[in-house]
């Protein structure tokens, strides 16, 4: 393995980590910078979100839905089993699992499938698929995702 490959793995792993860290803390401006201008995101709701403006709607909509009723004191996304495939010096894919914890404990879990490009010296998302595999009854995700995913 060459040095550039090791650097690519670590930079991509940092992008994946930053995505959840920024989202959990409401740092949407920083979060959106992790996406290419023409990136696409699929969250399994029957719509493809194309471009950073539409992708940002996902996060602001989630923030607003978490503010309805009793607001959780925290939200934590945990990402695991990250498998990165660096195809060349400018393209990579990854697959990983996620679990989401709210005040009541685990709320939902699933998988990420990603595509990345190195643009202007930075690895960023060009595509992200979020597949929710399950959720706890009466949790936030069960109310929001039931029948959509």
pLDDT in tens, 20-41: 999 988 899 999 999 999 999 9
The strand pair at 105-119 and 35-42 is best described as: unpaired
Q: Which domain holds residue 87?
A: 3-145
How many domains does the chain divide into? Answer: 1
CATH of the domain at 17: 3.10.450.50
Judging by beta carbons within 10 Å of its beta carbon (0-12, 13-18, 19+), is residue 26 exposed, middle or buried? middle
Q: What does the pLDDT look like over 123-142, one tens digit per residue?
A: 999 999 999 999 999 887 88
User: Would you state the structure tokens that stand for residue 13, as one six-digit string?
Assistant: 């792993």
Report field, pTM of the whole predicted structure over 0.95: no
Model confidence pLDDT, tens digit, residues 69-97: 565 567 899 999 999 999 999 999 999 99
């Amino acid at each position: 393995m060459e040095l550039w490959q090791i650097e690519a793995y670590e930079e991509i792993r940092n992008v994946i980590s930053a995505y959840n860290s920024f989202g959990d803390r409401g740092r949407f401006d920083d979060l959106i910078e992790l996406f290419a201008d023409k990136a696409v995101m699929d969250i399994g709701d029957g719509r493809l979100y194309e471009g950073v403006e539409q992708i940002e709607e996902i996060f602001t909509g989630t923030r607003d839905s978490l503010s309805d009723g009793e607001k959780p004191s925290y939200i934590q996304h945990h990402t695991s089993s990250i498998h990165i495939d660096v195809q060349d010096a400018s393209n990579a894919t990854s697959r990983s699992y996620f679990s989401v914890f709210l005040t009541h404990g685990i709320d939902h879990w699933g998988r990420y499938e990603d595509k990345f490009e190195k643009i202007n010296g930075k690895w960023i998302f060009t595509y992200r698929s979020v597949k929710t595999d399950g959720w706890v009854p009466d949790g936030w995700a069960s109310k929001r995702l039931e029948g959509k995913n």
